[in-house]
Structure formats: C-alpha cells, structure tokens
Structure 1
Amino acid sequence: MERSTGDSSSGNEQVLFPAEAEAHVSSLVKFSIPDIGCTQQWQRQREYLHKLNMQAVQNASQQSDEFVKEFLISHEKLGVLIHELIAVRLWKDKVFSLLSEGGGQKPKSTFPCYVVLYHEATIINLLETVLFYKESVEAVGDVTLDLVDYCHQCVTWLIANHETVPVEQQTTDDTLQELQQLNCTLNYGISIKALSVLQSFVTNLDCLPLSVTTRLLNTHDIPGLLVSVMDQQPWVRKDKNGKLLKHIEGKWRDVSPADRLQLTKTEAQVWISLYQLLMSPECQKKYHLHAHNKNHIMRLRSHLLETVVDQIPQLSELQRYLGHLSVMDPPASSSSDLVLEQVPEIYDQLVRQNNNQWRKIADQQRKKLFLPSDSDLQQQAKRWVEACNWDVLETLSGDAPKCAQCGQTSAMKRCSRCRSEWYCGRECQVKHWKKHKPFCDTISSSTPH
C-alpha cells in the first residue's frame, strides 16, 4: 500500500531545517507523569515534538528527504516517543479522569489541558508517519510489545465508544464538558492512527521477535479484534440529517452515492492486516484457532463483497480460505511449542512508580492545569504560537477552511487578531466571539506584532 501524498505544489516553507530537527531529536528525554503539562522542560519537548511531527508529515506528503525519521532511528529515540505516548495515555486515564470527575472544580481555561490531550495525538501521528518504513519498525526494538499493547487498548476503546464520538465539536460554555468532548474526539482519531500503526507491525512480522507475533495472535487475538472493527465500521456515520459521512484523512466528509462502496484508507489497512494475519503460513501455524474464534472470523464473509475484492485483489485468496474454513474443523496449532516470551515494561513501570499517588498528582496539577495564572497562560500560548506554523498546517490539510461557528466550508474571513479561526461572515464571527474571546486574547497577547 503506497503512502498517500498531498499537493506539494505549495508548502516549500519548512518547519525545521535538518540541523534543527537533529538537535530537537537528540534532546528528547523521558518524563515522569507528575511532570506532564506542568514543567517548562515538558512544555519545551512538547513544542519540539509538534514541530518534528509537522516536518515529518510535510516531508512524507512531498516525498522529500525524510530526515526526521532518519534522526529518530540514528539517535535511538523511538523508544522515548513510545514511553511518552504511553505516559500521556496513562495520565489521561488516571489523572485527567480525577481532574474532570463530576462535581469538581471547572477549569479557568481549557487551553492548558488541551495542550496535554493533543500531545498524545501528535506523538501517534509522528509514529504513524515514521513507521511506514520497515527500517523504522525494526528500530523500535525491545519496546515493540509496549506499542502493540497501546494499540490494542486504543482499538478496544474504538470498538466500545466510536458511536459516542461527535462528528463536530459542540458549542458549550461549560469548560469541563468541552474538555471531555475534546478528549473523546481526540481518542477517536488516535485509535484510527493505532490501526495504521498495527498494520505497520503486521506487514513486517518477519523482522520482529517471535514474541510480537505471539502477542498479536494469541495474547490479544488481533485477528478477532479486527473482525469486530469490520463489524462496527467506525469510519462510517450519518449526520443529523441522515447524510452518509466517512472518516477520510482525519476528517468526516460527505460521501456521494457513487463513492459509498469506495474503501477508505483505514478500511483498506484493516483488510490488509487481516489478510496478513490469517493468510501468512507462519501466522496460521502460530494462531490458536478454535471453534469460538473460528465462528467469529467467519463473519468476515459478509463483508468480503465483490467491490471490496475488486479494490484489493489479494483478498480473493482470503475469500477462498474462509470458504474452506467454513466446512472444516479448525486446524491444530503448535500451542505446545515452548516460547520464551518477552513482556512489555513501560506501562507497568509507570504504574508502579505512581501507584496510590494518582489523587495526590491530580491535586498538585489542578492549579497548573485548571487554575493557571494569566502569566502562565500567556507563556503557554506563546509557546503554542511559536510551535505552530499555520500556513504549513493549512497546506498539509489540503481542505478549504471551515467556519468555526456553523461548520460550513465557505469560510473566507479569518480572525485578524489570532489568525487561528475562520468564519463565513461577520454574523458567525459575532456569534462565536464569546467562546473564542478567551483563546483569542491569550494567543494575540503572546504573538509578536
């Protein structure tokens, strides 16, 4: 499957030069959970990773020298990225959940927590871009199992919660509700990226330790999990008017009747992963196929339509395999083979380090994240402005800007103060001003004029 590319006719401006990118990569370190969102060092690294992600995506979309990937491999920093990814996820599960529990104090501004929540999406996007290549998958090394476990957690969340994710962010004056809604929306996008990362591992099993194959097939039963994903079709929704939407390149888009059967990138990745896991001779030998998961896998037959096979021809082999499997007993697996299996360490290590301290950490971080001073807010906004290159981001998205109030793609006017929001006209800008003003004031006061 080829990497999708964007329009490279514009966007010659780079976010980072190679020397800057190497300096940023070489400085990456692991942070403890109490540091997340609360120290200058963590904020600086978040800024570096944001820039590295934008540059990596820009290089990939323009098919230019992917020096960010090379530096991450040569400086052996992929393990640091995975540690930070798991740390932020654990922070969300253990600390943010306490900060945002019902009846608690509402945040003065959503910005400090937004920065932390968005950080997980930045890292998984960077990993997805980098792990497109086999040499990157090989370079992950001993922490591969940790990333496999993380992806399993994300995909499990997707199956259970995708129907609760709003297609568009709903306007609300409740800052806590806004953060919870944002977290749900970000989790959806992160889970979609996790499916892509899983596919990178599945298609490169030949260069990974045997324990990775065992964990994918039998510990987590990823084939069965992906069948559930195919049953749920989380990339398809209907809006409030009954119009069909598909999640394509990170956005919900209207789908014309002629394109309804066209596979999305995510759907194609799930099919390719299933093909590799079910058809590879080595996987067939290792997979513990029994009556229960055989019946579950047979559900794929209802999804293997002619239009799907036309788009991914090798799925005809999977179609034949499922036909044979339907009339025979599950083949015996080599489950009696002795396997010395590695175990993931990052998650358990972080839990041990902070066990029984989650409430204490939440209480310590509440002032910094929920009740920051005006000077702290301005400092964070300044860092955000310095890290974001709006022109490059718009070039990479390739979409017409949407009105922040009504969501229409006819937005032609931009906020002249912060330059981060678009509107289709003055009426929408005035309606949205009450919600936008705190963010706009913070950003504009931190932007050099």
Structure 2
Amino acid sequence: MQVKGEHENMGDVVGPLNALEAERYCEELRTFEFAELGGKKWLQQHEFLTKLNIQAHVNASQQRDEFVLEAFVLHEKIPLLIRELIACELWKQNALPLMRDWLNKNNSIKGYLLIYQEAVLANLLEALLFHKDGCDAAGDLVVELADYCHRKLVWLLNVTPPDRPKDKDALKKQLLKESEEDYLLAQERTVAMSCATCTLSIVRFLTDHLASLPLAVTARILDTYDILMLLGPLLELKPWQAQSADGEMRRFANGTWARVSDSEKSKTSKCEIQGWLAVYNLVCDPAVRRRYQFNSFRKNALLRLRGLLHETLVDQVPVLVELQRALDEMTLSEAPNAAEGKPAYVLEQLPELRDSLSKGISWRKVADEQLSDSLNDSEEEKRATAQMLAGVFDMDGMDELIEQVNGGGAMQEKKLTYFLEVTFLDSSGAEVAKIVAESEDDALQDQAPFIIPNEQKQTLIPMKCNEGGCVKVALNSGLGEPWTSQAELELADDKKKQWHQVGVNPDCIRVQLHFLRAPDGSGFHLIHTRVTPPPLCTLTLSFKDAKDGSEAVVRACGRGVLPQTPYKVKELDSFVRVPKLCCASAVLEVGNELDRFECSPTDLQLGGASQMQWRQVGKSHLELRVQIKLAPSAEGGYVITHLRATLPSGARGHAETSKESAKSSDVSPVVKCEAGSGSCASKGVIDTFADTPAAEAAAADAAAPDVAMEAEQAVPAPAVAPPAAARSTKVEADELFTQDNMEAAAEIYTKLINQSRENSPSLLSNRAACHLALGAFDACIADCDEALHSGAKLAPRVQIKLLLRRCEARRLSGKPGCIFQACEDLAAAKALPQNENTAAMIRTAEEKLDAGIRGEDAEPPKNPRLPPASKNLPNEDIENETNGLKQPVLHSAISNSEAGGRQLELLVELPGVTAFKELTLELSANRIELSGSGYFLNATLPITVDSEKTSARFSKKSQTLKIFAQEA
C-alpha cells in the first residue's frame, strides 16, 4: 500500500495498489463454480478485483503507468474476466430468483456483493479495453463479450427511468415504499443500469479497434446484431436521462440517479458521448462502409440522427463534425435496395461459452448448495464481511477520488503563491543553509502552513548554527519590500522535535519553525513552518470635488503598521477618477482590533500636467499620513497607482509614559521565544512562582482580586463609586477568593457584572483569576479579552495583570498555537510601564513560559487547583487533563504476515482529527509516540518491530490511524 506524502496534492490520488501488488493479485485470480460463489475464496477475489478496478481507473485518470493493464495482459487474465462476467449474468438470471427472499432476510450483504460483482467486472473491462493491447488479449472470447454487450443494450433500450416526484410529500411516500420493497431487487436495477452504461463504453472501444479484432466480431457487430441500428434509437431515447413534467432533469451517473442543475443541462453526458463515438466509428470508417450495406431502411434510420447533431454537441465533441459531413453526403447518395444486397458468406466463430456454462446445471441444486454452505454465515462472519467491504473503500485518497468522480473534487489553480525564505547563519554571520517554503493556500492568514519540499527537508542545519548563530526569515508580499524578522537560534540538544519562533511583535511577521534533530546529533532538519503575517489593514480615501461636492471613495488593503507601508487599491476601485480640485481625507483600520486612525482633510490641486504626481494627505506626525501617486486619465481626472501610509507617532504599542518611568524601565519591548519541544501545555497555574521574595510578592499581586485598580501612577481610571450593596457583595467575593473558594467567588463576581457595567473591567479581572485557578482556561481568556477591549482606561498595572493571566491561560490550554499567543501577551505586558511588583510578575511569567516551551516546567504547586471533573481520574489521566492533552484509544493486534513472520497492527482512535498532516508520528523498535491536535500518546509496543518496514494509513471518515509494522 502506497502512503502519500504529508504535503502531496490531494487531488493527485495514489490509489490502493502498487505495480507489484497488482501483479500478485492478477496471478491469484481464478474461475469459480456456481456453488462456490459467495464463499471465502470468492470474497477474497472480489476484494482483489475491486482494488484492481479502482487502481486501473486511477492510473487512467491520472495518466500514469498502466501497470494494471500490463499485469492482466502478461498473465492472460482478461479472458478470465469475460468468463466470470458471463457466469455472473447467468447466476443472476437463474439462481438469484430462487434465493432472493432468503438473502434479503438473512444475508443481504453477501447478496449485494454477488449482484455487485457483475458491475465490478464490467467496469474493469471498460478500463482495460480502452487500449488495443487489452482488446487483443481478450482473444476469441471477445465474441462472447460482444454478445453480452448486445443483450445489455437491448435491455437499456427497453428500460424505463424511475419516476421521482419533486413534491416533498410525494417523494417521502415513494422513499418509504421503496424501503419496504425487496432490497436486493432495487440493487439489481441499479447494478444492471451501471453494467448497461459500461457496455456503451465497451462497444465504443471495440469499434475503435475493429480492424485488429477477429472477423467474427465484425460480423456480429455489423450483421448479426446490427449494433448501429441499436445505437440510433438509444441516442434518440436517452434512457440514462429522465425529465419530469415540471422540467427537473435527472441523469444516471456513477451508479445513481442525480438531479442536473440548470448550468449542467447543456452538457452532454458521458453515456451519450460514448454512443456518438461508436456511431462515428461505424459510419466514418472506410472499411466498415465497404462492408456494411446502407440500404434505404438503415439510411433513413441514420439520417434521423442528423437532427440531434446540434452545435452545442459538436462544440463538446469536435470529431462529430466528420459524422455530420458523412450524414450530409448520405442524403445525396442513392441507397441500394435490400434485395440487391449480396450476402457476405463468412466462416465465423459462434459463441459457445454461455451455453457451455449453463449446460447440465440444476439451478435449484446450485441454490440449495449455496444456502447451506457459502451463504450460510454466522453473525461473526457477517460482521467480518461488512468490515471487508468497508475496508475496500477506506483507503488513502478514496474520499478525494470519489469527490472527483462526482464532480466535486476538481483542483482549482492557485491565484497566488507566497514563498518564505529561511536563512541560517553561523556565529560569524556567514550563510550556512537556506530553505524556501511555499504557501499552501492562495491567501495569507494567521498560522498559515507553508510547504517545505521533501528534498529541502533533508537539508542539514549544522550544530554550529546553534552556537551563537541566528535565523532570518523573509516573506515577499508582492507590494514592496519583503517582511523580515530575525532571532537567535537556541535549540535544546536533548529534544528530538522542537518549535522555535522568529518574531513576537504582533504588528510584524511571526514565523514558527519546527525542527527535527538529526539521528547522529550533527544538526537539525527543518520539517514544518507556519507563518502569521502582519495584521491586515484597510485604508479608505475620500475625495470631495470642490466644484459640485460629489465624493469619490477609494479603498485599499495592506499589511503591517511600519512607516511607508505600501497599499494596493481594490480592483473595483482601481478605475475611480480623482478630481483635479478636491478635498481628500483618509481613514485607516488595523486588523480585527478595529484600531482606527484618521487625518485632517487636505486640499489637493492637481494641475493639467500629463505626468504622474505625488501628493500627501495628512501633514502632522501626530495624525495618519498617506502618500498618493496619481496618473492622469484619458477620460479626465486622475487614477491612483501607488499608496503608502504611515501611522501617527506613538501608535500601536508605543505607550506614552513619563520620563521617570521611561528611565527606570530597562525591559525590552520584544521578548524572545525560546525553542521548545512543541508541547503547548505545562503543569501548575499562574499563582505559583519561583521562591524569591520579589516573586512571592508578584504572585500574590497577580492572583489577588483588583480591589483598588484606580490607584496607579499612569493613566488613572475614572473613580466611580459603586453602590453600598455592591461594595459589600464585592468584599464578600474577595473574602471567598482569599479562602480559596473560587467557585462561590466567581458566582458573586458574575452577579456583580450583570448588575453594574461601570466596574466590569475590575470585576472581569477578578473573575478571570477565579477561572484560572479552577482550570477553566477558555473562560479566563474570554474575561481578559472583554476587560482589555471594554474601552475603559485601565491602569498599566491592571493591564499587565490581565495580559499575564491570559498568557498563563493560553499556555495551559494546550491548543494549537497557544505558546505563540502567550508570547504575544507577554510581549505586550513588557511594553507597558512597570513598577517593582509588576516587573517581578513579568520576569516570573517569562521564566515559566520559557520552561513550558522547553518542556522543563517548574515544580508544580503543592495543592494545585484542578477542575472538579479531574478529581476521580487516575494519576496519568490527571496529568493529561492538567496538560490539556488527551490520550487517544489504542488497539493492537498481532497476525501472521503473507511474507512470513508476524505483523503488528495498531489502530488509534482520533476523534476530531481531519488530516494526517495534523499529527506527528514516531515509531521506534519498542515504542510509539504520537502528538498533535490536542492528543499525546507514548506507549510500549507488545513486540519488537522493524521501524524501516512500517506503513501508516489515516481514514478521514472513521477518524482513525492504522499502523502496520513487521516484527524485527
């Protein structure tokens, strides 16, 4: 089984088999007697044929090496397929009616497989006979296949499409009636329709290679069965298509009747195209025209098709232009009389396979033998059969293949691709390695994954880069200079996999790099990367005409808040004309935070010059400034060609502080995120710090409720006295907090928040502390977000406490990207004015965050506050609950492999996981380690395995991971 690479194109389906497996499956194919149908060996061959059929169609659709066809031709198995196809047809006609009721009640699964076998064989022959080698390899049995195709086309000509009412009530009644009817009878109709549509393709392929086929095939197609006269009525009636009285159209495709949308009605179905191509082959082939007698009856029947060759059909199948010309010529020629035609005396081969298979067969006896032996399964055998049937379609890429067949999985071309350049430098500044990753999507977003080619994953970043070296990242936005960032490279030598972040400023680019330590310890490999671009900004320019007062609005987008940030005008506004004399104003909104910056109106006087001009809107450094490049338009006025914007001084993180606080603060506004193990969880809560006096004071300050938040030196909050009842209630809540009764305290804070919104930031901060102590990290983050964005002027001390609480809650949540979001909160806290206590709080929080990133968490508290649900868990589960990671369910089984020896099969249940790329899997000789999407598994294997002979398969439907490993 081939396992797809992690970042391969999902539309490029690999298929269930490789060339060696396909050849081995072909060798194992054999014929079966009627009484053996449904037995264990027959079931195994049904599975082989189904996989070979899927792989043959995958190879054809992806234009790959046709190794399935080569295997069938090499081992001369195509005649066997024709023989089994005729046998299935005979069994369905004679034995199935005798046992249909019994199968419907006792073993409907095997009944369905016996019926479905004919569709598998017909579909496989359809894929193989497309090639001339496949037709030649069929040998003399191609005559039997021609007879089979004729029988199916006659059935198709007489079948009536099922009626499907559009009214909901009527449709409900019909579905209920169908569910009460014979299950197998409904499956028979569907399979028969699928086989009939396949025979249309097979007839077309036989007519493609008619010159190289035995003469008996030509005689039966042209003379005995006159297939051309059968195709004409089929193309007129179109039994694969039905239209109700209200105009709704349905078509049979891919084994089901589906409604056709209005946009698809003009498209010709595949069945119809195959029929037209077969007619084209028989009418336009000179050898056929010399042999085939176009008498008056046949001529009139063919000329009826001329009216169906309309322009829409010819545009979709251009080769039918020649058929149009041939039919036009036929109208001008004289058809010979039927009596004048000279019969062609040919010594031809007659089909005898069908007669020989049914000769001497007692179908009553066959049915009794099957009911007593091969179809008489126990409940355990029925479950095994159902699992086999589900396993055939539970393979890598099957979901994507089915979506493509149904028209929903077509890959769209990317509109834009971004490239991330990662450069590694040693301590002397010399470049050591460079890796380029490509964006997975055509739009930049937070935590966007970038694909590293497999060959570049092999690039070794030597250990010397980790000794005083650095890493640089650059991403070209397409608007101007690339976004860049740089950080020291400090990776832990004892960690096999670890993350490292470059850049923590939320207004700049941030890149997370995932490293894998080389087995020999000589360096590291970069295996994954995620990019968070600068925030998306929207610039709105308004130009008010000085003459008539009309206003023109131009909108543009850009990323980042650096000076002279380039912006791109939106496509709909690129043709807006700017008047020569106007008053311009600008508004800039930054990201989702809706920070808004404006500038005072500026008068613009654009002269009549024919060259481009630069103008600036906004004059003072205390307001938004926009530089505009305008080009004269042939239709009058000017159009904007370039835009650059600069925010006001002191905006976005540059807090206004007093000189004293600025001098006393020696903390850099940017925090470096150390490399870690990739785990986003840690033990303990924020109120447990290192054993230092300053840290102890900071811990008490961080955990205590905000009783006097207005008493601070910078930007004091407005003093609003709460009601006396509220004050007493808040005192009660504070007392409960000090008594470690967090649930009761949180309940009182909630009541106070609902009663009075004026003091909600303070109360939200207190409730966030309760949620953090209780382990309700999402609720803590929500309270901190609401308090920070409440619009109230919060003292720096309160802002720092809120940021640090949110930082710790994010760190402990264990969600994807939690460490990097926690680093952002820590950086924002460090940028604020600090006193001795808040500085100690920040230092302690930074130490805990670094320890959590490295996987070296500080000692857990003596009495950690755990959620109530965790009290009754075992010790290992308590640790996982605290870390925020879940341990998946692991099943194991040991069996004897086909190659000899034993094989270990592991099944990991991963609810919520949708793709294998979300996981990190390591399998050694004795252990399995799996992490990602909130899961962590570290278990000992029951046997020692060969880690080089392993394979993995992830099922999107069942959300399970199957791992196969050979015993060492």
Aligned equivalents of 2:32, 2:77: Cα separation in 1: 13
Aligned equivalents of 2:221, 2:178: Cα separation in 1: 43
1:349 maps onto 2:356 in alignment: yes
User: CA offset at residue 107 of structure 1?
Assistant: 2.2
Deviates more, 1:264-273 or 1:74-83: 264-273
Match of 1:151 in 2: 149
1:139 equivalent among 137, 140, 164: 137
User: CA offset at residue 8 of structure 1?
Assistant: 6.3
2:193 equivalent among 176, 188, 197: 188
Deviates more, 1:293-302 or 1:194-203: 293-302
Aligned equivalents of 1:316, 1:261: Cα separation in 2: 18
1:286 maps onto 2:291 in alignment: yes
Aligned equivalents of 1:78, 1:231: Cα separation in 2: 33
Match of 1:45 in 2: 45
1:90 maps onto 2:97 in alignment: no
Q: How many residues matched?
A: 398
Which AA in structure 2 matches 1:115?
L
Give yes or no for contact 2:243–2:250 (8 Å, CA) kept in 1: yes
Unaligned 5+ segments in structure 1 are: 1-6, 402-416, 420-443
1:19 maps onto 2:20 in alignment: yes
User: CA offset at residue 324 of structure 1?
Assistant: 4.1
Aligned equivalents of 1:183, 1:158: Cα separation in 2: 14
Deviations 1:73-131 (A, max 9, x none): 01110001111111111111111122237xx7852231110011111111111111111
Aligned equivalents of 2:402, 2:239: Cα separation in 1: 22
Give yes or no for contact 2:16–2:51 (8 Å, CA) kept in 1: yes
1:60 maps onto 2:60 in alignment: yes
Aligned equivalents of 1:359, 1:352: Cα separation in 2: 14
Match of 1:207 in 2: 212
User: CA offset at residue 310 of structure 1?
Assistant: 2.9
Identity among equivalent pairs (%): 33
User: CA offset at residue 351 of structure 1?
Assistant: 1.6
User: CA offset at residue 329 of structure 1?
Assistant: 4.1
Which AA in structure 1 matches 2:68?
V
1:124 maps onto 2:122 in alignment: yes
Aligned equivalents of 2:199, 2:164: Cα separation in 1: 19
Deviates more, 1:117-126 or 1:72-81: 117-126
1:257 maps onto 2:255 in alignment: no
Aligned equivalents of 1:239, 1:29: Cα separation in 2: 46
The 5-angstrom pairing of residues 194-343 of structure 1 reads 194-238=199-243, 242-326=247-331, 328-331=333-336, 335-343=342-350
Deviations 1:298-338 (A, max 9, x none): 32123122322333333333334334434554247874333
SS at match of 1:163: coil
User: CA offset at residue 204 of structure 1?
Assistant: 1.0
SS at match of 1:313: coil
Given the superposition, is the C-alpha separation of residues 215 and 42 from structure 1 closer, same or farther in structure 2, using an over 3 Å criterion?
same
SS at match of 2:397: helix
Aligned equivalents of 1:175, 1:399: Cα separation in 2: 33
Give yes or no for contact 1:87–1:350 (8 Å, CA) kept in 2: yes
1:398 maps onto 2:399 in alignment: no
The 5-angstrom pairing of residues 395-434 of structure 1 reads 395-398=400-403
Aligned equivalents of 2:10, 2:341: Cα separation in 1: 53
Match of 1:411 in 2: none
1:381 maps onto 2:398 in alignment: no
SS at match of 2:130: coil
Larger relative strand fraction: 2
Give yes or no for contact 1:110–1:175 (8 Å, CA) kept in 2: no
User: CA offset at residue 364 of structure 1?
Assistant: 2.7
Which AA in structure 1 matches 2:389?
W
User: CA offset at residue 251 of structure 1?
Assistant: 4.7
Aligned-CA RMSD value: 3.3
Given the superposition, is the C-alpha separation of residues 206 and 8 from structure 1 closer, same or farther in structure 2, using an over 3 Å criterion?
farther
- Which one scores higher on RCO, CA 8 angstroms, separation ≥ 6? 1
Aligned equivalents of 2:17, 2:176: Cα separation in 1: 35
Deviates more, 1:159-168 or 1:68-77: 159-168
Which AA in structure 2 matches 1:90?
L
Give yes or no for contact 1:202–1:277 (8 Å, CA) kept in 2: yes
User: CA offset at residue 149 of structure 1?
Assistant: 0.9
User: CA offset at residue 33 of structure 1?
Assistant: 1.8
SS at match of 1:237: strand
SS at match of 2:45: helix
Larger relative helix fraction: 1
Deviates more, 1:367-376 or 1:256-265: 367-376
Unaligned 5+ segments in structure 2 are: 1-7, 166-170, 407-908, 912-957, 964-968
User: CA offset at residue 278 of structure 1?
Assistant: 1.6
Match of 2:366 in 1: 361
Given the superposition, is the C-alpha separation of residues 178 and 336 from structure 1 closer, same or farther in structure 2, using an over 3 Å criterion?
same
Given the superposition, is the C-alpha separation of residues 91 and 384 from structure 1 closer, same or farther in structure 2, using an over 3 Å criterion?
same
